Structure 1
Amino acid sequence: MKRKVAWALAAVMVAVSAAMGGTVPARADVNPYITEGTHHVNGRDWRTTCEPYSQTTRCRTEIKATQVSEVGGRFVVRTGWYFNNLTYLPSSRSLWKKNPLGSTGTFTGADGRTWSTVCDTAETGRNGCRTYAEARVIEPYQVNGVWHYKWVTRSIFNNIVQFTVAPVVKPSAPPVTTASVTLPDAKLRECINVSLRKPITSAIPVKVAATITDLDCTESKVSNLTGLEQFKNLETLYLDFNQISNLAPLRGLSKLQNLSLAGNAISDLRPLGPLTGLLSLDVSDNRIVDASPVRTLTSLELLSLSTNQVRNVAPVTGLIALTFLDLSENDISDVSGLRALTRLEGLSMAFTSVDSLAPLAGMKKLGFLDVTNAQISDVSALTSLTALEALFLDGNSVEDVTDLAGLKKLSMLSLSGNGITDVAPLAKLVNLEWLMLAINDITVVKPLATLPKLHILGLWDNPILDRASLDPLVARGCMVMFDEPDDQDDSWLPGIQAVSQMPARR
């Protein structure tokens, strides 16, 4: 069976950032909507830039928040600066007479969306208007304790127009600086300028570089990181899916906590050795053979080495703070050194040559385990892992599932492509909601009819003799699949498939 479920971290789900809904700050000494610079107001960080606009001044405000976005068909959790609203500083009401942003009403914008404006209300105050735009946003929802994401249409706060009641006071100009960062890679310069809302070819002053704490240059065609060494205060850096091979410019970024470099051409991790403050690191889908430089990163809580050429897991065995580890799609067979990682909550060893689960027996906090397409036949070591909620063992040589009967918290279990004949022990897993048993040797499925919470059951490619015994499941709405679903049908996939890469540190 094709592997249709990517590694997901079942315990880590996040809500869409309040920034998408236009957060309104509480009363404070500084009004972040009209004051240039970075401010801490109402427990949140705000960043504002202002520029001339027609006969007034327009200020753009961003808020630092955690947000869910869709990248390459996957929902991805990111922390950074996100748009909050635009504010047009006080100007004569007559200037807005023909502009729908300056009078109460509803209109259709050039983008085809519905916009609505309210003016001079208790919400806007006298001599002011607020405009809301119809937008498609990602919204989390929960079904049976499992988080999902969906696209919805909402009316989102977009801008404020202020009318003059006193002389207009324009914000002071930012200080002039001459020293600029040297960035040979035009695409890197462009990405940074886009994040600063500046023309893409603008020079970036050294003083400005020192103010940047979060940078996302995912899929930006960046190949040369020279110049990033000047961004001394970076805490979060996303450089996924670029053309990067040399990490030397990152060596001195001692404040980095979250670093994502998935999908590049990296083979040498040595420049990351000094970054001992890192909490999360994703170097999946690169060319890494030697992972030994990660030994020094003892603060790491999240680590992905997926889809590389790593054979030796020894470098990670001392990272005892790890809670999530992805070793999938490497040429790994011996994981005995993982015994010390007792804080792990999520572990993937899918598509490896691992043949024993014994080293996992002490991982009492493990809630997610993926050992798809390995060489497992004995699951007795899992009997002590009573915190498990999601377990994937597709494509192994498991025949006896008796040792899984005590894993009462399991809500997701995938055992397709094994040699299972007897499913009676699974009838004790009363919290199961999603169960895959395709491509086995099962003839009797009646024991599964008693599972009270089951709503997805895959049984294709089995010599089943008592299909009718599952009629009660079907009658109460459970999707029972005796035939393999079409490749275009994803309705049977588990809810957690939305989060399919290492989560951002929040």
Structure 2
Amino acid sequence: MKSHRVLAGCIVATGALSCVASPAHAADVNIPDNNLKACINRVLGQSPQAPITDTQAQSINVLDCASQGIVSVQGLESFINIEGLYLLDNQISDVSPLSELHQLTGLILSRNQISDVSPLSELGNLTTLGLHRNQISDVSPLSELHQLTGLILSTNQISDVSPLSELHQLTTMDLSTNQISDVSPLSELHQLTIMDLSTNQISDVSPLSELVGTILAEGQNIGLPPIAQGNTQNSPVIGFGGTSDVLPVVSKTGSAEVASNGLSWTYTAIGRNTLTWHLRSSRFIFSGTITQRSTSQFVNIVDNNLRSCINGMLSQEPQAPITDAQAQSINVLDCAGQGIASLQGLESFINLTTLNLGENQISDVSPLSELDSLTTLHLRENQISDVSPLSELVGAISAEGQNVGLPPITQGDTQNSPVIGFSGKSDVLPVVSKTGSAEVASNGLSWTYAAVGSNTLTWDWENGDGSIFSGTITQESISPPTPPVPPAPPVPHPNNPLVPSVVNPAQPRGGITVSGHKHDGTLASTGTFDLSMLSFFSGVLTLAGAVLYGRGLRIRRQV
């Protein structure tokens, strides 16, 4: 690549200074993005918004405008002699102005917002192309770039890599963090010295067994279809040695009982399970996690209203059993306004794309957390205060108008907000309005009540993808409890001030007959005595100054 530096229309190349005067009639290049223009003018040694002529544009061979906040690259089509262009970490989505830059050999567009790479298909001289962290799913326009030796496509949305099979000059390629499961199209890329396939969905790397370079394929995520509890699941993980090279499980969570060779397993309980494998050598790494749900023959739906709604769609009796196969056959379910309180069992409906559960009495949404196919979820007007279990769902979630009742709280005590957003326990949503006597903290996350009575507090959250979470908290503030009245002190007995009297002076006096033993063990006299003479102390009866043991004591009320 040529080493050129441009100063105000002068090119410094290999130590020689060549200045080309711009003709008075030279046209100015239209560069509407001020950040891009300022970057170019820094290279030219001009003020940020100075005009840039065609001649100046054609004099630039290398342009580095990384991290400049650039949105539009309009105008770069005039830079026809550019060979190296570095535009990473901007906000670029349209790369069509670059399609005329046929001298480009190096192009870095990583960390932008690009989804369509078709304008790059004409750049046949490219040897290095960086497109890390964009929004690309279709790489077919890159199939004609036969001079590429380095290609970076990590952190995109690519599942089909077959268009890359003809790029035989590639020596390095990064396809990590995509959605790739089939790597067979890459089997003929024999010039590769290093290929990164980490964090995809690959369970079989045997097609790559003939490649001699380093292969990094760690952190794969494999989702297997649900399987009935007790049935045997064979490992789908195949190593570089072909179909006979099935890799064993090395660790697990859940109820899996793994065979001694690690190549198959069964589940002893219903639920979510994970199993991991790990293979490492001097030339490659292949590891990952298998996720699978174990199910029963029938779905356990505990809410009769929910069961009745589902059976209505299946044309069955309201409380008929629902099989796992039936659950997986449903894509759209509308159970709004059915009095549903529990969603237990819906975790088996893994193929749902649209779910309407508005106007019910739902508070716990955790059974929906693994419904990865959901694109539309309606939860309006329920009793939900925590939506964090839904954080991994990618569709729009409508959860406005929640009604959350909190237990009464004593006036003056602090109440923390129970409202948790999509980001987890640290994402507590603040109160935005109130009625009653609530005094809300400045951050909106807690409050106290200044008076006794009914109170309401509201929250309202919305993001750019159409998801909404809002509602009202209702809570009574009550008076502090009245302190207990201390008991009256005991009244001493007149004949023994150390012994409390058991007689209420306000009660009528009466007589009792008492017999017992004295201290020396002899039988005491019996007779009828006035109650005012009687008291107890430590299990001993005191009668008119004489002490009788409790043992063998007989007391009979005089009639």
Would you call these one fold, judging by a TM-score over 0.5? no
Which structure exhibits the higher relative contact order, with contacts defined as CA atoms closer than 8 Å and separated by 6 or more residues? 1
Given the two structures, how large is their TM-score scaled by the length of structure 2? 0.40
Q: Which has the larger radius of gyration?
A: 2
